[in-house]
Amino acid sequence: MADESVAGSADFPVKRPREEEENGSAAAASAVSMEPDGGKEPDSVSAVIPGWFSEISSMWPGEAHSLKIEKILFQGKSDYQNVMVFQSATYGKVLVLDGVIQLTERDECAYQEMITHLPLCSIPNPKKVLVIGGGDGGVLREVARYSSVEKIDICEIDKMVIDVSKQFFPEVAIGYEDPRVTLHVGDGVAFLKAVPAGTYDAVIVDSSDPIGPAKELFEKPFFQTVANALRPGGVVCTQAESIWLHMHIIEDIVANCREIFKGSVNYAWTTVPTYPSGVIGFMLCSTEGTAVDFKHPVNSIDESKRPLRFYNSEIHTAAFCLPSFAKKVIDAKAK
């Protein structure tokens, strides 16, 4: 996920503990020493606790998740966003876009495997798959497990994300090496509009948060464009925010999808420790045609080259079991 902006830590003044006051200059020196090539620290590097990354955003006001930084490996600004990679003390390397964590080496499997296998295990023999976003290559890596797949298109707007992922996250970006993959660098909405109707068996939308350029990916016209690109009985899985933070957004997504997708419409979720609130959700929908039962997988997954770290058939079914407060809101939109 990505966000439009991150509030600077200077907005949250905190009195230093006595031992930090006494060692203030040493702490400041430690923070500076992590900067690559002597560059300026990004706003997301905490000034309150030197040497830590803090994810602060208007999308989750009043809270922040922090990771201890061992070394900042990359800082850059693309045409679309700020990009940073750092080595954390507990989650391996971390990719950050506009101050918001996209993945860590330790828990990326909980997101990449679920957003891919929830839809692709729900239909027999998927052949043509489109990934919107997902520039790190993790979804491609998981789609490539399916021998039935003949063509994998990916449309990612930010080439810097692709290049940085290949450099620092080769075990994730390995998906780009599959010969079935065709990369399109550009706007995903425009790409979809140019796609002939009924082209894909599945579309996976690995989007950022609905702020700034990604806002369009959460609106009704986009879902209609996705539906047009799918064959009858085709499926879409899109990142759909956190039940703990964004039920108002989820409510709108469900309402829009129920109007557009005449097959099945479901919400599922997974745990990702380094995402805000520790959970993230997925909207899974199918077009009118062959019925799709998202809750009961029909495909097996090839683990011969790379074992799964998170997904299994039991967790697939469990992902659709919602807590009562979320189930009440989502089920209400079915009426």
Residues assigned a catalytic role: 206
Token pair belonging to 38: 């002597």
DSSP state of 244: T
Beta bridge partners of 63: none
Q: And the tokens for 6? A: 């991150």
Question: CA–CA separation, 141 vs 294, rounded Å?
Answer: 21
CA 121 from chain centre, in angstroms, equals 19
Q: Which two tokens stand for residue 200?
A: 């894909």
Tokens coding 247: 């039920």
Yes or no: say if 165 and 199 are a contact pair by the CB < 8 Å rule. no
Q: Pull the structure tokens for residue 286.
A: 């199918």
Report how far residue 80's alpha carbon sits from residue 7's, in angstroms, rounded to the nearest whole number. 18
Backbone dihedral angles phi then psi of residue 38, each to the nearest 5 degrees: 70, 20
Q: Which of 196, 202, 222, 195 is nearest to 151 (CA)?
A: 202
